[in-house]
Chains A and B, each alone.
Chain A
Amino acid sequence: MNSLIKNIIRFILLILVQVYVLDQIHLHKMVTPYLYFIFILWLPFNMNRSMQLLVAFALGFTLDCFRHNPGFHSAACVLIAFVRPFMINLLIPHEGADGNYDEPSIKSMGGLLPYFIYVAVLTLIHNAWLFLLEAWQFGNIWYFLVKTLLSAAISLLLIIITELLFVRKQKFRTNTV
């Protein structure tokens, strides 16, 4: 399937799942699971960096519109879209692996561990920045830390489940780039 169409479908589906399924879940009154930002983690390798930022902003802003609180999710999404290329450069094992595959996955990152680190770090950054902005007025550092860690753990679990349920077929491309 065309990468553009695939990503547009992903965008819509993830926003709908986040708004109508995950936002309705409140675990022990402090944790809301977030999954939608997996869209940013799965963006293609060869996408222009400013384009990535713009798409991430659009994603966060759409969710913000549904929650009537503009700014929070757009800020967090833009941040992880900015950090993403650095993470990929650090974790990709050898030259050109990002040219052989379309998007980050266990296979294209060269194993479970690098991919897991990539997902975990970005999830933590996303949740921390989001709750830091939300906690601005409340200013309770322990509440903030516990909330961030718990939410990140739940998000990670959801991402793992998503990876297991929806196996993305990655074609190996040689000499095409």
Chain B
Amino acid sequence: MRNIFLFIRRYSNLLFFLLLQGYSIYLIVHYNRYHNSVFSNTTNQLTGKVNEQYNKVEDYFYLKKINDSLVKANEKLLNQLKADFIASDTGRKIINDTLLVDSIKQYRRYNYMQATVVSNSVSTQSNYIVLHRGEAQHLKKGMGVVDINNAVVGIITDLSDDYAVVMSLLHKDSHIDGKLIKGGETGTLSWEGDAPNIVTINRISKSAKVAKGDTIITSGNSSTFPKGMLIGYVTEVIPEKSSNNYLIRLKTAADFHSLQYVYVIDNKQQEAINQLLEKAKQQNK
């Protein structure tokens, strides 16, 4: 017994070192992004406060750039106004619909919410973006995030009351579905971890016609992003030797270096879809 105490006293530093090192590695391995804990809430809240102060200063340096892109976005929207178009046929007449159920009524499916970026990284192998908008402002986990020109940025993975953490497209675990705008073939996006504006898309078969400069958009298969949001432009097409697929590199449409404002997309039908999926899973059991 005495020897044990002597041993502990003698090697207390080594033991303490191993304990701290072990705890750090435990944190790396077991930190689960989808598991919200009190811990991550408080640290997010604290670091978010500091980031916000810094962002107040940094904002000024990007004002011109933001202004330019807003003008562009505005121009695009103005061009879609109804008043811009003149109906060519004169033979139209208005018919009063007498049906009780209004079949023309449209339901809102996607809702956009603006958010400010308070911190942003592109240099590590798992990059996150922090937004100054959180659970108290109607954000939920799994919502998609796009930049001001509707280019895909990432998906919300962590929330606190006033801040949200977004797993960016530049993250080794990020898997978003993409689609070729020309042929419609779909594949999964992933990031190789080196260049902060190049992502790869795989599982696109060699029968697809792909050329440099082709546009890749969101597929709309998952409920996170609406169909047709910009992801990027093809820069390189590499045929895989061992399979029947292409490996395609693309340049992201979003500029991850200078994100200041983003839109969070809320799918109003998400809950209905989830309930259906749950139901299907239970029936299969």
Query: A residues engaging B (CB < 8 A)?
Result: 20, 23, 26, 29-30, 32, 49-50, 53-54, 57, 60, 64-72, 74-75, 78-79, 82, 133-135, 137-138, 143
Contact = CB atoms under 8 A, between A and B. Distances in A.
Contacts of A137: 125, 172
24 contacts: A20-B54, A29-B196, A30-B194, A49-B13, A57-B20, A65-B46, A66-B51, A66-B119, A67-B124, A69-B124, A70-B27, A71-B24, A71-B26, A71-B28, A71-B29, A74-B23, A75-B28, A78-B24, A82-B21, A134-B125, A135-B125, A137-B172, A138-B125, A138-B193
B126 A53 contact: no
Interface in B3-58: 12-13, 16-17, 20-21, 23-29, 31, 43-44, 46-47, 50-51, 54
A16 B12 CA distance: 33
Contacts of B273: none
B28 A133 contact: yes
B193 A57 contact: no
Contacts of B128: 67-69
B130 A75 contact: no
Contacts of A23: 121, 123
Interface size class of B (residues with CB under 8 A): 35 or more
Contacts of B119: 66
Nearest to A49: B13
Contact of A53 (B13, B29, B165): B13
Contacts of B21: 75, 78-79, 82
B13 A50 contact: yes
Given A20-B54, A65-B46, A74-B24, A26 B122 contact: yes
Main secondary structure of the interface of B (DSSP, over half): helix
Contact of B24 (A54, A60, A67): A60
A136 to B, nearest CB: 8
Given A75-B21, A134-B124, A70 B16 contact: no
Contacts of B12: 50
Contacts of A49: 13
Nearest to B192: A138
Contacts of A68: 44, 128, 130, 158, 165
Contacts of A30: 194
Interface centre among B17, B43, B193 (most CB of A within 10 A): B17
A29 B194 contact: yes
Q: Which 7 A-B pairs have the closest CB atoms?
A: A71-B28, A71-B27, A75-B24, A70-B27, A74-B24, A82-B17, A68-B128
B14 to A, nearest CB: 8
B126 A69 contact: yes
Interface in B102-132: 119, 121-126, 128, 130
Interface centre among B51, B123, B126, B165 (most CB of A within 10 A): B123
